[in-house]
Structure 1
């Protein structure tokens, strides 16, 4: 008998994406609507580890209009939407309005905690992973409960992520968004623009999954609106 989750995983792998875990909504829990326009019974998060989707995205992007806005979001929606249609689910995205609680879902399904940079710290991938969307099902799906992973930030001495930002945008007080944005857009922001966030790259964990420089530059350009 076919295993739906294994089949979904196979379909996603063709695009460099992976299932990131899921859960069944409990009775009485508020849930977004599923495919049948009634509250969904379960959710399966879809994402990536490292730069695996990048070559798939690039091949798609080459065929799109030159000035397409938010191309990675558009690609993710198309790919995850097609998988949702194949497996009878509703696809949703982190950028959907009103926003869905993707970060809370992610912490719930993988037992992760935020790093000092706000990015969830993964025990294997470090900071080099992302959630690209989710599938909402009208029925419950077989889900394995997450383990309780070690939070690597607790074992990190010196917190290099907090000490390496050239403008001190990260601190115990939170993220100084405008300070970071001004720096990335400014004349001294080339290292961040071209090779990625210096603070994120200072993290010693999951380095084998670190995004390639061109991938980081793509994300920094989108962040800065350049």
Structure 2
């Protein structure tokens, strides 16, 4: 969809993933969720020298928010905001058996990096999340692909996952096998460099 604000977000290499008019949020009339979908954001992150992605996100999004007259909040910053609930309100996905947001186009290969909170509303039609793709997914391969059975559909065993990737395995190089098993949005799978970046970040955050 074309819109000056959405185009401005894209200029900074973020994807405008969804938007909605919230209820009960003081001084906020409109929320736009932005993040990663496709290669653009990670390519810019790499061009900018990499580093800690959360820090880089703040450096890029803060001036973007100022330019647009919005306030930026981040999923990695306290007080934690209900990004999953916001995704439901924006009609941009469903909760997958892995606990991640699954998008009908991007599958599991997207991520919310920030939300822009505006004091005014915009004339943008709300997206429709469509049918939940996991409800018709035959066999739900994501629940059976993990070599240490870290997922059971309701619980994620972080300790088992972290212990495994600290050992001799292919997950660090090729990515999470459960995520890779999802048949939705295959064409948007992260490239190896991005997969390895995120796997290393997870490993560093969960020492054993």
Structure 1 length as normaliser, TM-score? 0.84
Aligned residues of 1:90 and 1:136 also touching (Cα < 8 A): yes
Structure 1 distance, partners of 2:22, 2:6, is 21
- Tell me what 1:88 maps to: 69
Secondary structure of the corresponding residue to residue 225 of structure 1: helix
Q: Structure 2 matches for 1:68-147, cutoff 5 A?
A: 68=51, 71-147=52-128
Structure 2 distance, partners of 1:117, 1:202, is 11
Among 49, 56, 77, the alignment partner of 1:61 is 49
Among 167, 179, 182, the alignment partner of 1:203 is 182
Structure 2 distance, partners of 1:169, 1:142, is 43
- Tell me what 1:224 maps to: 203
Structure 1 distance, partners of 2:140, 2:128, is 25
Relative to structure 1, the CA distance from residue 166 to residue 159 in structure 2 (aligned partners, 3 Å threshold; closer, same or farther) is: same
Cα deviation for residue 173 of structure 1 reads 4.3
Cα deviation for residue 213 of structure 1 reads 1.2
Cα deviation for residue 111 of structure 1 reads 4.6
Aligned residues of 2:143 and 2:152 also touching (Cα < 8 A): yes
Structure 2 distance, partners of 1:214, 1:148, is 30
Q: Larger Cα Rg: Structure 1 or Structure 2?
A: 1
Cα deviation for residue 90 of structure 1 reads 0.8
Structure 2 distance, partners of 1:111, 1:130, is 11
Structure 1, gaps ≥5 residues long: 32-37, 63-67
Relative to structure 1, the CA distance from residue 147 to residue 207 in structure 2 (aligned partners, 3 Å threshold; closer, same or farther) is: same
- Tell me what 1:180 maps to: 161
Cα deviation for residue 11 of structure 1 reads 2.1
Number of residue pairs aligned between Structure 1 and Structure 2: 204
Structure 2 distance, partners of 1:93, 1:100, is 7
- Tell me what 2:152 maps to: 171
Aligned residues of 2:142 and 2:178 also touching (Cα < 8 A): yes
Confirm or deny that 1:9 pairs with 2:1.
no
Secondary structure of the corresponding residue to residue 72 of structure 2: strand
- Of the structure 1 ranges 73-82 and 163-172, higher mean CA displacement relative to structure 2 is found in 73-82
Confirm or deny that 1:46 pairs with 2:21.
no
Structure 2 length as normaliser, TM-score? 0.91
Structure 2 distance, partners of 1:78, 1:219, is 19
Cα deviation for residue 148 of structure 1 reads 4.2
Among 193, 213, 221, the alignment partner of 2:192 is 213
